[in-house]
Structure 1
Amino acid sequence: MCGLSAYCHLGTPQKDTKNSRLDLKGSLESIRHRGPESDGTYISPCGRCGLGHVRLSIIDLEGGHQPISSANGDIQVVVNGELYDHDHKGHVFKTKSDSELALHYYEDYGTDFLHHLRGEFAVIIWDDSKKRMLVARDRFGVKPIYYTTVNDVFMAASEIKAFSALDWRPEWDLESIIMPPTILPPAHYMTVSASGTMDTTKYWDAEYPDKNIEDKRTLEEMIQGVHDHVVESIRLRLRADVPLGVYLSGGLDSSSIAGVATKLLRDSNSDAQIDTFCISFKDGGIYDEGDIAERTAAHIGSKFHRLSLTQDDLVDNYERTLWHVEQPILDLNAVGKFLLSGYVRHKGFKVVMTGEGSDEHFIGYPFFHTDYLREQDRSTPKGFGCIAEEDRQDMLSDRLAGSYKFIHYELPRETKINTKARFNDSDLPYQIGKMLALSTDFMNSKVVSYHGPAVVGSTVLDSIHGDIRLKATTKWHPVHASLYLETRTFFPNVMLTWLGDRVEMAHSIEARTPFLDHPLCEYTNSLPPSVKLCGQDPKGNRLNEKYILKEAMRPYVTDEIYNRTKHPYLAPTSKPGVQPIVRLLNKWVTKERVDHLGFLNWETCETIKERIIMTGDCMAYSSMLKVISLLILHEQFDVAPVTYL
């Protein structure tokens, strides 16, 4: 894992680089935490292009420095991430690094080289013969890459802060309440020509089966298929020239990774022992999974490391976490993961495996249940896992009458949602938007008058292509449609950011995600809904989530994990009274700070602030953390106040 920064002049390049305002080395220094061990730069002979790279060495510790050049020097590449299955033949390799594979595949296949890459990556390539820059991101968005244009200079980097040394100054985009630049979507690449032409292309997408065609595979074949794909994905991700650990919680996903990894290592060394790392919350009650994780660690014989945290620890490190995440965060989960990554680095590790991506493919989250119940599953073999039709309709009615549960938030179910008719009558587009955006009440009257009220559901739904929306409502089962929407919106922009790359790389930790191996995901997507979320399993259990993964991983996990229902990783939330979160509220949510920002409504902020202190209201707490995030980012990045209204 590494950090990237690059630029490309779109007009006449500036040859006098000594007087350039594009400080590539300064840009790299701002993301030094991503690659503390070495750095490298390339400036094209014509002065048009600059590439920069900071390195965290995992494979080929002595070699593997970047940028990497082709034999004739025409092609230069910088890579952030890890590429697997990379024993490529047919080229003379300068290094033993997996990153060099991107260069040679590009030589062989041009822009189609991305079809041949397996792993988590962001890539920037300069092709001097074409005077063209190519920027690409992995299929699920595990690794970030941002881009923008300033004064006829295109620039791209792993983090927003890297642009400050490239003559960029942040300002608020009130349409989305973020600081531009733009993040390249997952599974896309863009080409930038010397003439200024920019094209963005999707090179991969998720697909799901026709909901009306019965799958001819047997359940046993499907279980074996999942088993083999998971084991192969973990096997590939065990390759490293430095020690490797596993983030372990009390759930099926990380327990499966730890169990399979231990088995694979002991196949060649009977004394092999993997290190596992867990967060434990002191007095955390239901939030604390430390004891369950420790029992799993004992079962597989791993060396167990527990980091115990208090809510004071989380609040005290909120601002540091936000500096690395670079976008509003609405709970303290990210801070816990940030501190865990620092703990792992302190223990001498650079590489871990984590369980992200399993819930998005094996239907793990309870908020998917309603969309599973919307239609009978006609694709499952011989009706496996289906609920009797009358029972299905009754269960759906009960859920629609109750509140909407998204992750750990219990939200009132809205009756008038403008996107329901466009997306299988589902609440999900609206609820995702509502979770991420501040409501119109938080905006001052000038913002509402200028931009109009927020239409959060439409914003989320319009972010996916029209042909996909058509498939989602005519060909795919509703729960598969919701899986697609979540993996293309909330998952890359929240889960893989707050709980992924940004809080891991803050401490120079490379995290590998076996459940986001694209051959595994393509296989899992091809399965009928009812073998993943089993409406009624052979033992009579209803809505048994990740059923097929449990069966496939049964040899590697404890009975406790096998029988446990989904419990997402959560940090403790606020409580009434004098809690640590009140320190953040009193420090940041003041009339002076809110008014200086230029677009928030102080009266609303003041009211919600008092509600949290008095009641500990969960949704008010989440909304106010968004406000606090904006106020902190405004100061950390010296963002200009909004004055045009």
Structure 2
Amino acid sequence: MAKSLELIKHRGPDEKGTYFSSCGRCGKLHFYNSCMESELTIAMHPALGHIRLSIIGLDDGQQPLSNHDQSIHTVVNGELYGYKDIKADLESKGHVFKTATDSEIVLCLYEEYGISFLNHLRGEYAICIWDSKRKRFFLARDRFGIKPLYYTQIKGTLFAASEIKAFLPFGWESEWDVDSILQGGVLFDMRTAFKGVSCLSPGHYLMATPTGNVQIEQYWSASYPNKTIKETRSADEMIQGVRGRLVDAIEQRLVADVPVGIYLSGGIDSSCIAGIVKHLKEKSNIQTKTKAFALAFVDDDDFNEGHIARRTAEFCNADFQVLQVTESDLLDNFEDSVWHVEQFHFNLNSVGKFMLSKMVRDQGFKVVLTGEGSDEHFGGYVHFQADYLLEPDLSAPDGIQLLTEKEREKKLDMFSQQKEFKKHSKTDFADDGNDSHRKMLNNISLPSLLGSSFSLSSQYYSKMAVEQYGSPNPALTIAKSMNGVNRARAATDWHPLHTSLDTALHSFFSNYLLCPLGDRVEMAHSIEARTPFLDHILCEYINGLPPSIKIHPNKGGPLIEKWILKEAVKPYVTQEIYERTKAPFFAPPTKEPNPKFMDLLSKFLTRKNIDRLGWIRYDKVSEAITTYLKTNDLRTYQDLLIITSYIILSIRFNVAPYKPSRFVSSFNGAVDSCSTQ
């Protein structure tokens, strides 16, 4: 246990605590628990471990926490908002609190409502509860997957943790899940790169009992209105609805016993947070300046938003600090950042966020507000526009001037010809002829766009791996990541834009934007990021708005992304930010082969290391390096980063070389035999 906690102490350097059952047997790590099992029964001998980043209840918030009779024990990772009101309500029902921390409400809510206590939580969290009376072990993850939660079995014992590396001291022997790697499970569903290690899905809980039953259930899911029912609210009413809920979400996330900063970019999401924080401070007559932090890429002015962020900081009367980085700086931090995120990098974005978090921690901060989740609810990315155009918006309220069918089809044709996509990426977004993912999700383009953009090119996989697991089809993996009930709704009830937004939330968003670009690079340096745009009360309201309120028709020009957000936050941002179009956060592509990048390739992409993986072709890697030196091709650069990431993981986790399963080979042979009879 101590070694496990030590491996992830970056997540909570302030304190650590453990709980062992009366038998004294252990089998857990960071903040979750284990069950000792045989072939027929599970003998419950739990152990809990916790490392603390103290933010609320600085003096008495140690974990694990236990109830009054020591029958229920819990560890909580994250923040629970509105906890003071919940405490007051529970105290009126007779519950007694021993600490000033927000985490303690989990114990009393569980006592009061059982496993339905999750419906009363607001915030980001990963929770473990050991109920000794019911002999019940319980895990839960927040609605969007802001906080990570992994689980696996080691020699018949169930383990769960915030990071996979915490399993290593308990005897976990890492192996590649080549099927997950080939099919895109690492980014697009709840698998990882490691066999037998999974993420608990956002909005789900896991419950294990002494009978050997392990049950995973969904407790929350996004929902959207019927696309044929006309909206009766006015646009102004909906703008006010978004504004009020967003201001409340930000105000809730300013509650802390330590200073709260802001990650500021040149976009409307972080800018409006900064502006609303200024408004709330003025309203409360708080004189202290907010600290705003930004990342600037000095190699390329096209990707450097530092000057825009500085003007926003001045407008918001914020104390502004910018971290300027070069491509060489990012490459110097590449290896360590891969170890922390435990999955591959396809660009250097996560490395930049990794470095920014270190700078923020060095400035003495533990908490920042960030803008993640806005694009996935308001339709901020260009691919959402393509899916918006697939069908007319029959639900639009009066007063919204819609495109004619001819205008809509003309704009849609621009996307189908890839004219719009090519403005934003050099990636080829065309389908490969397999359109099953489109049929599953009402013809939306999102799966093929994400699948082709962020996956390793198929030519690098070994013939043996492809024969065993099939040709890579990450688009199909994305489509399958949505549950069957929601796929049925997408087919008949939801507008394609809403189908696209929901699909993004269930795949790339939780597995990449909230993980290697979110919690994992922030907590690598003990930074807690709070995400107002993922307040579920706000999100449920946004989900209920018609598509043309999010992506606004514009007869005279391009579609207006995130229209209602822009209108809702107009009082809090500069005119420059209000009028600016979406610019995705990207580290700039290299203009010519960087010597440090070539050194990185020379260090890791050796024949010995490639052969140790067992599922990558060395000849194709060698060809790619030669091609890259000649062409500086962006896609080749991306592929080489991905493969280098896997080599680093292979070394750091001592992953066993991949060997094909004889069972699967035999099974495939049997299927082939049957199919020819």
Where 1:175 maps in the other structure, the secondary structure is helix
8 A Cα contact 1:420 1:426, kept in partner? yes
Deviates most, 280-289 or 246-255: 280-289
Question: 1-side partners of 2:655 and 2:453: how far apart?
Answer: 24
Question: 2-side partners of 1:541 and 1:40: how far apart?
Answer: 58
Counterpart of 1:360 in structure 2 is: 376
Question: 2-side partners of 1:195 and 1:340: how far apart?
Answer: 47
Counterpart of 2:103 in structure 1 is: 99
1:29 maps to a residue whose letter is E
Counterpart of 1:637 in structure 2 is: 653
The answer to whether 1:410 aligns with 2:427 is yes
Cα drift, residue 410 of structure 1: 3.2
The answer to whether 1:67 aligns with 2:85 is no
Where 2:553 maps in the other structure, the secondary structure is strand
Cα drift, residue 300 of structure 1: 1.1
Cα drift, residue 451 of structure 1: 2.0
Cα drift, residue 269 of structure 1: 2.3
Counterpart of 2:21 in structure 1 is: 44
TM norm structure 2:
0.90
Counterpart of 1:3 in structure 2 is: none
Counterpart of 1:488 in structure 2 is: 506
The answer to whether 1:300 aligns with 2:316 is yes
The answer to whether 1:137 aligns with 2:153 is no
Which of 30, 51, 54 does residue 54 from structure 1 map onto? Answer: 51
Deviates most, 169-178 or 248-257: 169-178
The answer to whether 1:473 aligns with 2:470 is no
Which of 153, 157, 160 does residue 153 from structure 1 map onto? Answer: 157
8 A Cα contact 2:55 2:258, kept in partner? yes
Distance change in 2, residues 1:577/1:53 (3 Å) = closer
8 A Cα contact 2:12 2:51, kept in partner? yes
Matches of residues 304-319 of structure 1 in structure 2 within 5 Å?
304-319=320-335
Deviates most, 416-425 or 209-218: 416-425
* C-alpha distance after superposition, 1:465-488 (max 9, x if no partner): 111111112110001100000011
* C-alpha distance after superposition, 1:565-605 (max 9, x if no partner): 00011111223344532222222222221112111111211
Distance change in 2, residues 1:134/1:492 (3 Å) = same
Counterpart of 2:36 in structure 1 is: none
1:166 maps to a residue whose letter is F
Deviates most, 581-590 or 41-50: 581-590
8 A Cα contact 2:154 2:171, kept in partner? yes
Cα drift, residue 166 of structure 1: 1.7
Cα drift, residue 383 of structure 1: 6.0
Matches of residues 174-185 of structure 1 in structure 2 within 5 Å?
174-177=178-181, 178-180=193-195, 181-185=197-201
Distance change in 2, residues 1:583/1:69 (3 Å) = same
Where 1:208 maps in the other structure, the secondary structure is coil
Counterpart of 1:166 in structure 2 is: 170
Which of 498, 505, 514 does residue 523 from structure 2 map onto? Answer: 505
8 A Cα contact 1:26 1:165, kept in partner? yes
Identity of aligned residues (%): 46
How many equivalent pairs are there?
620
8 A Cα contact 1:362 1:545, kept in partner? yes
Counterpart of 2:415 in structure 1 is: 399
1:61 maps to a residue whose letter is L
1:72 maps to a residue whose letter is D
Matches of residues 94-493 of structure 1 in structure 2 within 5 Å?
94-177=98-181, 178-180=193-195, 181-382=197-398, 384-402=400-418, 404=421, 408-414=425-431, 416-418=433-435, 419-493=437-511
Which of 77, 83, 90 does residue 74 from structure 2 map onto? Answer: 77
RMSD: 1.5
Question: 2-side partners of 1:440 and 1:595: how far apart?
Answer: 17
Distance change in 2, residues 1:497/1:383 (3 Å) = same
Distance change in 2, residues 1:447/1:115 (3 Å) = same
Question: 1-side partners of 2:112 and 2:423: how far apart?
Answer: 45
Cα drift, residue 25 of structure 1: 1.7
Q: Which runs of 5+ in 2 are unaligned?
A: 26-44, 182-192, 662-677
Question: 2-side partners of 1:619 and 1:205: how far apart?
Answer: 35
8 A Cα contact 2:234 2:398, kept in partner? no
Where 1:81 maps in the other structure, the secondary structure is strand
1:75 maps to a residue whose letter is I
Question: 2-side partners of 1:385 and 1:130: how far apart?
Answer: 58
Question: 1-side partners of 2:649 and 2:278: how far apart?
Answer: 42
1:340 maps to a residue whose letter is L
The answer to whether 1:587 aligns with 2:603 is yes
* C-alpha distance after superposition, 1:204-236 (max 9, x if no partner): 000011110011000010000000000000000
* C-alpha distance after superposition, 1:162-185 (max 9, x if no partner): 001122111101111211411101
Q: Which runs of 5+ in 1 are unaligned?
A: 1-23
8 A Cα contact 2:481 2:503, kept in partner? no
2:232 maps to a residue whose letter is K
Question: 1-side partners of 2:139 and 2:515: how far apart?
Answer: 19
Question: 1-side partners of 2:533 and 2:602: how far apart?
Answer: 41
Counterpart of 2:533 in structure 1 is: 515
Question: 2-side partners of 1:590 and 1:159: how far apart?
Answer: 28
Where 1:327 maps in the other structure, the secondary structure is coil
Deviates most, 157-166 or 582-591: 582-591
Counterpart of 1:28 in structure 2 is: 5
8 A Cα contact 1:35 1:55, kept in partner? yes
Distance change in 2, residues 1:507/1:408 (3 Å) = farther
- Runs ≥4 residues deviating over 6 A: none
Deviates most, 279-288 or 52-61: 279-288
Question: 1-side partners of 2:589 and 2:516: how far apart?
Answer: 16
Cα drift, residue 542 of structure 1: 3.3
8 A Cα contact 1:406 1:431, kept in partner? no
Question: 2-side partners of 1:627 and 1:533: how far apart?
Answer: 37
Question: 1-side partners of 2:265 and 2:594: how far apart?
Answer: 30
* C-alpha distance after superposition, 1:436-481 (max 9, x if no partner): 4334321112112222222222222112211111111211000110
Question: 2-side partners of 1:332 and 1:383: how far apart?
Answer: 44
Distance change in 2, residues 1:174/1:421 (3 Å) = same
